[in-house]
Structure 1
Amino acid sequence: MDKAHPLSTPMVVRSLDTKKDPYRPKGDDEMVLGPEVPYLSAIGALMYLAQCTRPDIAFSVNLLAGYSSAPTSRHWTGIKHILRYLRGTTTWAYSIPVN
């Protein structure tokens, strides 16, 4: 992912039409990803980032974590989208307001 094209949003725009939604559940004609794809490892790493340092990806990661039992290539594309977003925002500074 070193040469990945950086993105400015953590996830693509979702559609109200369930047939066009890229984050819809697995369809009858879709294959579940095999163990060679590190989907669960990626979800775990992104959850750690969302919890500790990057709250801006929390919604996207939570949405994709819901498909951990039967991820498809669409869901893996969502993981890669988040990783490309992180690649593009490494120089952003986050500050916590102090009261």
Structure 2
Amino acid sequence: MTGLPRTIRRHELRLIVPLADSTIYEMEKRGDFPRRFNLTPRCVVWDLEEVEAWLEQRRQTYLEGRAKIAPAPDVHQRKTRPVRPTDGSAN
């Protein structure tokens, strides 16, 4: 089947892209993820080639240091199980 586009359904997409359905939907709305399309009124698919290209682009962005990465949380501000100081002083 060369030359024919390969499409994937939602369960296959979840195996490739470990994001929640709501996250994928929001990214599609913003234009940050390949758009789904309907084969039938009840069958939604994505173009596998577009998804693979998106993954490769994300990987390159990360490797080039241009990816937006959320900062690590300040564990010292936790209300439950706060981190104790490591300088040996007791609270």
Using the size of structure 1 for normalisation, the TM-score is 0.33
Larger radius of gyration: 2
Using the size of structure 2 for normalisation, the TM-score is 0.35
Q: Which has the higher contact order (CA 8 A, sep 6+)?
A: 1
Higher strand residue share = 2
